[in-house]
Amino acid sequence: MRRKVLQDIANTLCDMLVGWRMGGDLEALSALPDGTLRFDVLKGRVSHSSSGELELHVAGELGAWFEHRLKELTIDRTSILGAELVAEFTTGRLKTNRKRIVSFDWKCVSRITTDEKVYEGQLKEKHQWHSRLPPNNSLERTREG
């Protein structure tokens, strides 16, 4: 098994979640209480600690990227016993007007399990802003008024 490659993939999963792959899902997460997201990367599914199963675009993106990397690196998919990403998020460290902007802090741990070893990646306290847009109908009212 290519140990350095699997470690890099584990590290990258955390970066992808809190980086550019997460942008479209921040609005949905803004409506949830702080908590823990659990991604089953192999199945492309995610659940929230208090809200249960979620439909987040990033879950499918992580799964598709992972499968692509395995194929690209010619790593037999059956050698991967599990791939998970656990991400705790909080939104209260910086006070904001939550109707307009939400501040996210993340603590992520990813694990790729093979029959030989568990590869773990971690990322903590990466700060991310989400600027909320008003609903489309409120923009129309503003233009009319």
- Prediction pTM value: 0.84
Number of neighbours of residue 2 by Cβ within 10 angstroms: 11
Q: What SS3 class is residue 112?
A: strand
Give the sheet arrangement for strand 35-40, strand by strand.
52-54, 45-48, 35-40, 80-90, 101-114, 118-131
- Residue 92, pLDDT > 90, answer no
Give residue 39's pLDDT band: very low, low, confident or very high (50, 70, 90): very high
**What is the reported pLDDT for 40?**
98
pLDDT of residue 145: 46
Q: What phi and psi values does residue 27 have, to the nearest 5 degrees? A: -65, -45
124-142 mean pLDDT: 63
Place of tokens 């598709």: 64
Task: Fill in the amino acid letter for 130.
Answer: H
Which pLDDT score, from 0 to 100, does residue 9 have? Answer: 96
- Any idea what DSSP says for residue 41? T
pLDDT category at 21 given cuts 50, 70, 90 is: low
Q: Distance of alpha carbon 30 from its chain centroid, rounded?
A: 14
The answer, yes or no, to whether residue 132 has pLDDT greater than 60, is yes
Instruction: Work out the percent of the chain whose per-residue pLDDT is above 90.
Output: 63
